[in-house]
């Protein structure tokens, strides 16, 4: 495998100044904690900010940091205080972070902060380019660096570039309310592979791409600017073994003993999170307060241990949250506490790994209810630390981890009664039930670790990268001679040929693409050879193919696989009944055609097509984006899909695919197969053909095809050579 470089906003090692000099310590945070064990074991380079403003450092200190970090394969990007404020505090954490977590963002002019975001992404790009070489594998992480994949792609068109988002991706409407949303999508789409924690985040991202860009989306593949990108979910795990080993260390056993003595026989309810508005810490405290109000018999029998880890302390919203949280802690302790019982044991700070693991181990209940969270590794760390399997996990439905940890008590973090009920249920849960729940989740977590997560992502990245490689070589010289020789010596041949853009050039009006006499003669001569089966597999409607090619002894496939006619037999219909859905959607397309000068509707047997080839670019692009947005909403739960093609939007059944038609027509005895196409529907066909097939892409753009021809004229020239 090529050199692997990990890029994130923060390095896994942070630097700070002390009276005695520079101090290096592990960084706090899910990304750094989760990924560092994977990266350290494999010796990957890691690029990021070292945690200290560049103005605070002399040239000598900067060099010391560079030298010291290099020992751990870490490489710093130095940022100024202004960059840290504008890029990190404001744009990343006061705009992107709340928006992605469905929290309100105050309207303002963020142009200056956006420019800083761009500038810092460029700084990271420069460092990555300087520390890597062409052919490297680059893995970019999180929302602070969403422009970086596109910037890298411009300078390294053939590198494997992965991106993983560690926070939620909001629905398309929310995301695109951001003025710079389209530019962020352009940046992300420079990657070869884009990963999210859950399938719902993948769906939201693809919806945003469908709405705001000219991308062509097929399943989880996105074709954009002649570039093929894969999008998938990769739920992040933890270093499970690290926690199971820690359970039995002398230090953790001692810390656990001290904690048990401190809390006695009380039920320990543990809540651990960064002090962040998205974490729902006030809501957790209010739920605990209500539990004490409604269940007085629990007084002096329970204690809530709240570990609030400092975060983004320079941001006003975080300062305000801390003030409110500590005020509510004081209120609960004053109202319900006694000389021998403090209902809330509040800790503002961070704990060492051993102390935190011990706290996980002795806690009877983990109360983890963020308002919204990309994953939430704390829940997984708690379960991994449950040596005696006697803990209960209460988890928010809106955390990404809830899709995996289904044996937790799942709650709505915005419904207080739900949380209060879960707390009471956890306190009284029978031992057998809670052990069964923990055991099931531990088995899952042990098989889905951070190493599995990273390995799966990197394996998928390499596979995605191979798919997008420009291995489609021009069909000239020796490669063409070899193809023709193999054709001539073959005993059973199949020729899969698209129509528009392959056998005929594109025309402004669909009816103008009638086959020439020369094309009809060429196809007829090819079909006359008994060794040949000629198949025209097209998006054209059945009537066009019948009228234009019906007299030839060839097989015809219409509307991308919705109907098929083998040789001169009868047509078989495979598409779903279209009359009902077309009645509903035809008025919509007509409306958008009327709004767009030069646009018109083509009504096929099994599909509807909105053409805008003759439309002025401004109106075409404007209404294309709006139409995509409307269709995305209308078709989400249907058996229909829409795709963009050469200046068209086509709505059809999800089951009308050239791949299915080609698979049905494949002859297992064929010893020569050639397929020629020009767009995404043909990529679908290429993917199901045998490995020894000749696949040819017509025109520019990335492709799975092995070879490329420039134009329909080149195709006809090649086919003519088969007859000489």
Q: How many domains does the chain have?
A: 4
Pair 147, 114: CB distance under 8 Å: no
Residue 132 structure tokens: 């890597």
Same domain, 327 and 394: yes
In a domain, 461, yes or no: no
Q: How far is CA 258 from the centre of its chain?
A: 44
Tell me which of 394, 422, 452 is where a domain ends. Answer: 452
Pair 561, 538: CB distance under 8 Å: no
In a domain, 373, yes or no: yes
Under-50 pLDDT residues of the chain: 1, 470-471
Same domain, 636 and 624: yes
From its phi and psi, is residue 634 left (phi > 0), alpha (psi between -120 and 50) or beta?
A: alpha
Give the integer Cα–Cα distance in Å for 366 and 347. Answer: 16
The pLDDT score that the predictor gives to residue 567 is 86
Q: Classify residue 277 by its DSSP letter.
A: G
Q: What is the CATH number of the domain that holds 503?
A: 3.40.50.1000
In a domain, 9, yes or no: yes
The pLDDT score that the predictor gives to residue 472 is 60
Q: What is the DSSP string of 417-445?
A: HHHHHHHHHHHH--HHHHHHHHHHHHHHH
Give the integer Cα–Cα distance in Å for 281 and 34. Answer: 23
Give the integer Cα–Cα distance in Å for 701 and 679. Answer: 9
Across 659-724, the runs of DSSP E, i.e. the strands, are: 672-677, 694-698, 707-709
Same domain, 497 and 538: yes
Task: Tally helices (H) and strands (E) across the chain.
Answer: 26, 30
Same domain, 66 and 157: yes
Q: What is the CATH number of the domain that holds 208?
A: 3.40.50.2000
Give the integer Cα–Cα distance in Å for 158 and 465. Answer: 8
What rounded mean pLDDT belongs to the chain? 91
Give the integer Cα–Cα distance in Å for 77 and 261. Answer: 46
Domain that holds residue 251: 242-452
Pair 287, 423: CB distance under 8 Å: yes
Between the two ends of the chain, the Cα-to-Cα distance in Å is 46
Same domain, 625 and 695: no
In a domain, 399, yes or no: yes
Residue 705 structure tokens: 């095809």
Query: Which residue bears the tokens 């302390």?
Result: 313
In a domain, 90, yes or no: yes
Q: Which residues lie below 8 Å from residue 356, measured CB to CB, with a gap of 6+?
A: 272, 307, 381
Same domain, 380 and 488: no
The pLDDT score that the predictor gives to residue 41 is 64
Q: What is the CATH number of the domain that holds 600?
A: 3.30.70
Same domain, 346 and 248: yes
The pLDDT score that the predictor gives to residue 506 is 87
Same domain, 558 and 601: no
Alpha helix segments (H runs only) across 2-110: 30-42, 59-70, 81-83, 97-100
Same domain, 667 and 648: no
The pLDDT score that the predictor gives to residue 34 is 64
Query: Which residue bears the tokens 């209460």?
Result: 394
Pair 269, 301: CB distance under 8 Å: no
Tell me which of 652, 668, 684 is where a domain ends. Answer: 652
Tell me which of 175, 204, 233 is where a domain ends. Answer: 233
Q: How many CB atoms lie within 10 A of CB 173?
A: 14
In the β-sheet with 600-603, what is the strand arrangement from edge to edge? 600-603, 607-611, 648-653, 640-644
The secondary element (H helix, E strand) that includes residue 521 is helix 517-528
In a domain, 463, yes or no: no
Q: Global pTM?
A: 0.70
Same domain, 386 and 269: yes
In a domain, 111, yes or no: yes
Same domain, 503 and 520: yes
Q: Is the dihedral of CA 502, 611, 683, 215 positive or negative?
A: positive
In a domain, 558, yes or no: yes
Closest of 313, 395, 384, 324 to residue 350, by C-alpha: 313
Give the integer Cα–Cα distance in Å for 406 and 395. Answer: 9
Same domain, 540 and 395: no
Which residue in the list 86, 159, 239, 498 is annotated as catalytic? 498
Pair 279, 239: CB distance under 8 Å: no
- Reply yes or no on whether 498 is catalytic: yes
Q: Is 287 helix (H, G, I), strand (E, B) or coil?
A: helix
Residue 66 structure tokens: 């560079």
């Amino acid at each position: 495998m090529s050199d692997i470089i990990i890029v994130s906003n923060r390095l896994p090692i942070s630097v700070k100044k002390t009276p005695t000099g520079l101090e290096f310590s592990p960084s706090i945070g899910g990304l750094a904690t989760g990924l560092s064990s994977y990266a350290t074991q494999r010796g990957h380079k890691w690029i990021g900010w070292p945690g200290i403003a560049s103005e605070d450092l002399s040239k000598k200190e900067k060099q010391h940091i560079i030298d010291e970090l290099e020992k751990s394969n870490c490489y710093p990007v130095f940022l100024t205080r202004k960059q840290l404020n504008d890029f990190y505090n404001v744009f990343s954490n006061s705009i992107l972070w709340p928006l992605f977590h469905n929290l309100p963002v105050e309207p303002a002019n963020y142009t200056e902060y956006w420019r800083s975001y761009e500038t810092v992404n460029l700084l990271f790009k420069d460092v990555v380019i300087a520390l890597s070489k062409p052919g490297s594998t680059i893995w970019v992480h999180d929302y602070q660096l969403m422009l970086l994949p596109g910037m890298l792609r411009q300078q390294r068109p053939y590198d494997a570039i992965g991106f993983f988002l560690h926070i939620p991706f909001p629905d398309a409407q929310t995301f695109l309310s951001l003025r710079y949303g389209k530019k962020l999508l352009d940046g992300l789409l420079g990657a070869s592979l884009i990963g999210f924690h859950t399938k719902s985040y993948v769906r939201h991202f693809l919806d945003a791409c469908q709405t705001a860009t000219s991308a062509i989306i097929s399943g989880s593949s996105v074709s954009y600017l002649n570039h093929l990108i894969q999008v998938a979910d990769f739920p992040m795990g933890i270093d499970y073994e690290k926690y199971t080993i820690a359970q039995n260390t002398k230090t953790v056993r001692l810390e656990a003993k001290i904690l048990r003595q401190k809390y006695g026989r009380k039920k320990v309810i543990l809540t651990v999170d960064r002090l962040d508005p998205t974490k729902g810490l006030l809501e957790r405290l209010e739920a605990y307060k209500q539990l004490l109000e409604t269940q007085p018999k629990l007084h002096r029998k329970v204690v809530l241990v709240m570990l609030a880890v400092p975060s983004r302390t320079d941001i006003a919203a975080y300062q305000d949250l801390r003030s409110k949280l500590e005020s509510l802690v004081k209120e609960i302790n004053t109202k319900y506490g006694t000389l021998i019982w403090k209902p809330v044991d509040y800790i503002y700070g961070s704990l060492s790994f051993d102390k935190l693991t011990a706290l996980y181990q002795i806690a009877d209940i983990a109360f983890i209810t963020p308002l919204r969270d990309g994953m939430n590794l704390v829940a997984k760390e708690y379960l991994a630390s449950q040596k005696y399997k006697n803990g209960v996990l209460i988890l928010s439905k809106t955390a990404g981890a809830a899709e995996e940890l289904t044996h937790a008590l799942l709650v709505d973090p915005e419904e207080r009664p739900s949380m209060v009920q879960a707390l009471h249920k956890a306190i009284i849960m029978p031992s057998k039930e809670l052990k069964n729940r923990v055991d099931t989740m531990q088995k899952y977590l042990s098989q889905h670790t951070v190493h599995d997560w990273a390995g799966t992502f990197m394996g998928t990245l390499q596979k995605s990268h191979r798919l997008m490689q420009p291995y489609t070589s021009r069909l000239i010289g020796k490669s063409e001679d070899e193809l023709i020789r193999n054709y001539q010596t073959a005993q059973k041949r199949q020729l899969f040929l698209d129509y528009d853009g392959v056998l005929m050039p594109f025309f402004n009006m669909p009816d103008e693409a009638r086959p020439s006499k020369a094309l009809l003669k060429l196809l007829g001569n090819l079909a006359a050879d008994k060794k040949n089966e000629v198949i025209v597999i097209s998006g054209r409607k059945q009537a066009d193919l019948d009228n234009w090619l019906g007299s030839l002894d060839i097989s015809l496939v219409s509307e991308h696989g919705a109907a098929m006619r083998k040789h001169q037999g009868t047509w078989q219909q495979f598409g779903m009944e279209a009359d009902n859905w077309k009645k509903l959607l035809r008025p919509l397309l007509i409306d958008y055609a009327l709004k767009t000068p030069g646009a018109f509707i083509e009504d096929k047997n099994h599909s509807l097509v909105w053409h805008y080839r003759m439309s002025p670019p401004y109106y075409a692009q404007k209404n294309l984006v709006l139409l995509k947005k409307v269709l995305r909403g209308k078709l989400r739960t249907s058996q229909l899909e829409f795709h963009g093609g050469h200046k068209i939007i086509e709505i059809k059944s999800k089951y009308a695919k050239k791949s299915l038609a080609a698979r049905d027509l494949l002859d297992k005895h064929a010893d020569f197969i050639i397929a020629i196409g020009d767009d995404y529907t043909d990529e679908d066909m290429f993917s199901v053909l045998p490995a020894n097939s000749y696949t040819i892409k017509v025109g520019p753009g990335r492709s799975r095809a092995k070879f490329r021809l420039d134009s329909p004229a080149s195709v006809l020239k090649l086919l003519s050579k088969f007859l000489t």
